[in-house]
Chain A
């Protein structure tokens, strides 16, 4: 990891079109400004990690077809017991 020391108002440039600027320092909190093109996503690290890990778990778990079949049955019986209003899920049906 590249570690740089910056003062308030100073910047870091990444590649040709990403700029990070130290906007404010207040006690233990540092406000960081980020300029990046729209095709580059910028996330708070801990939130990125949580969602990324859950995506990976879901993709991995998607192989578990026995459990998925069971889940569908449980959803159906759950809904018979207490029907919620559901918005129609329109999508292509392919054989």
Chain B
């Protein structure tokens, strides 16, 4: 199967590459199936592309790259929704908002994306934690 993306080009995938977000993403609740895609193995950005709406995609970054102490609370309910036994079995990403000026790009630390790769389930957490903001500057200076 293929997705034709305006900028990312043709993305070939198998059904078992698809990650399902049973609750979708806030603001996009209808779209529940995504692919994770890297343009290059060394690329820090991971693309989360909607299978059902190829114009919909989000750039993701590993939050530990720019916030090494990032430690959001993952609840038992979160783990159960993700069919995970412990937080270590999950991959965590932040959605990046890119601005005209790349130096001002921000990451949403209040709404991390958690993925259980083995079971191909994902969820966007909604954190109540005051320490983290929706607009965390990625770059220093």
Question: Taking beta carbons and an 8 Å cutoff, which residues of A are in contact with B?
Answer: 38-39, 41, 43-44, 47-48, 50-59, 61-65, 67-68, 70-72, 74-76, 78-79, 82, 84-87, 89-95
Contacts and interface: CB of A to CB of B under 8 A. Distances in A.
Contact of A94 (B25, B37, B126, B135): B37
Contacts of A91: 36-38, 46
Interface in B31-59: 35-38, 40-41, 43-46, 56-59
Contacts, number: 146
A63 B6 CA distance: 9
B111 interface: yes
B97 A57 contact: yes
How would you classify the secondary structure of chain A's contact residues: helix, strand, loop or mixed? Answer: helix
B65 A71 contact: no
B106 to A, nearest CB: 8
Interface in B78-99: 81, 91, 93, 95-99
A58 B108 contact: yes
| Most chain A C-beta atoms within 10 Å of own C-beta, residue among B45, B59, B140 | B59
Contacts of B44: 72, 75-76, 89
Contacts of A50: 110, 134
A74 B40 contact: no
